[in-house]
Structure 1
Amino acid sequence: MTPLEDILEIIDQTNAQDPRMSAPEGTAAVPSELLRGFRLSLVCEEFAPSADDLVKIAVRGQTLESWLFEAADGTAPHEGVAVRESRKRDHSANRVSQIMAANGYDEKDCAIVRDLVLGTSTDESGRAQLMEDLNGLVFIQFHAVDLLKTYPVDQLGPILVECLSGMSDEALYHAIDQTEDPEMIKTLQAIREDISLEKKSIAYIDC
């Protein structure tokens, strides 16, 4: 196995310990974070097959061991939630970079992935934007359409706009191309119309 394969295997084995289970329609229940990692990797292969190893590691381990920080009763005040989410990101970022270091990656690459997981990357290669796009695409493909079936579009639409406004035009176009729900297509088209020039001209890393 390659170092990349070793790292992804370790991440998967760790996330397989998530006690929370998810059961997508028509499938058996699996650990929630394991499923999320698989989905991010799947969308990465579909949308950005040339993404480098650092992106592939970051998306697979983005929420590594996040269940360790879940509140026992599932509730917390707004400030408490924000602090907890920050602690989750810190923990996942540190764990992933430790796994990388133990499998031959140098300090520079570990730092890049750590910043990507934290969402603090200032890297101009396009990795940070690609992470933003992959998260948005996973949300659209696996969650947003189901939400539109539950909530009226006039209620959910503004939330979707806010959640997906960080995506690039390329990713939004890809989502429209892959989506059949007319309300979702309309929402994504509206986001594209208001997108900044910077997001229209995004260039990803060419690996």
Structure 2
Amino acid sequence: MAKRLEQVISALDRLHAEDPRSVDKDGKAIAAELLYAQRMSAWLATLAENPSECLQIAVRAQHLQRWQVPREDYPEGRVGYLTWRRDQGIRAGDTAAKLMNDVGYSSDDTQRVATLVNKKGLGRDADVQALEDCACLVFLENYFADFSRKVEHDHMLRIIQKTWRKMSPQAHEQALALPMSPASAALVKEALS
């Protein structure tokens, strides 16, 4: 890993590690957001043979400091959710850009990371697609089962369908190969039929 890339990833991870929520990983507590970021990078390593430094940074910055602005601070419903998500992306992109500037990345590179984190060009930009695929696969692999128990059945089916539409064919293959509980697998099968 190039020195400046390593410096940015380390700086992002220090910020992730500030997440007050922790989860258990292999018997040890880890900041929830740091674990999410590590999972994002792991999926990128699976999906992309030689990802650019900008993509590696954007993937690692995907949920940067989300705990600082809770979803509950925004209105209920789809518009409130989309506004919250947009604002989170802008904050994460700006913070990643500052960290990149600090170690000598160009303004073109910092703008590229902001574009990726904000998922501008989904379906047209291969790097944006790769980031979205990572996010969808991390969700399906690690958070889907618990989330689906909290959401009304028909709404959950729509969420799965929307998630599926955002994914590439390669990510579809990966998703279908994920180990799932019988209940989760049945939900996915129903949503996709």
Asked if Structure 1 and Structure 2 have the same fold, meaning a TM-score greater than 0.5 normalized by the shorter chain, the answer is yes
Identity %: 23
Q: Runs of 5+ in structure 2 lacking a partner?
A: none
Tell me the amino acid that sits aligned with residue 13 of structure 2: D
- Per the alignment, residue 179 of structure 2 pairs with 179
Q: Which moved more, 1:81-90 or 1:95-104?
A: 81-90
CA shift in 2, pair 1:101/1:190, >3 Å: farther
Counterpart in the other structure of 1:19: 20
1:27 CA drift (Å) = 3.4
Deviates more, 1:75-84 or 1:54-63: 75-84
Q: Which amino acid aligns with 2:163?
A: C
Aligned AA (2:35): L
Inter-partner Cα distance in structure 2 for 1:64 and 1:28 = 22
- Look up the equivalent residue of 2:8 and give its one-letter code: I
**For residues 18 and 184 of structure 2, what CA distance do their matches in structure 1 show?**
34
Q: Deviations over 1:62-112 (max 9, x none)?
A: 1222222126xx464225544333322111111101111221211111111
1:33 aligns with 2:33: yes
Match for 1:156: what amino acid? M
Query: Equivalences for 1:1-207 in 2 at 5 Å?
Result: 2-23=3-24, 27-70=27-70, 74=72, 76-78=74-76, 79-121=79-121, 124-147=124-147, 156-181=156-181, 184=184
SS at match of 2:166: coil
RMSD: 2.9
Higher helix share: 2
Give the Cα–Cα distance (whole angstroms) in 2 for the partners of residues 45 and 2 of structure 1.
19
Classify the secondary structure of the residue corresponding to 1:178.
Answer: coil
Does structure 1 retain, via aligned residues, the 8 Å contact 2:74–2:84? no
Distance 1:87 1:113 in 2: 15
Q: Which runs of 5+ in 1 are unaligned?
A: 194-207
Quick check: 85-94 or 117-126, which moved more? 117-126
Structure 1 position 129, deviation (Å)? 0.8
Assess if the C-alpha contact under 8 Å between 1:133 and 1:167 holds in 2: yes
Q: Which has the larger displacement, 14-23 or 122-131?
A: 122-131
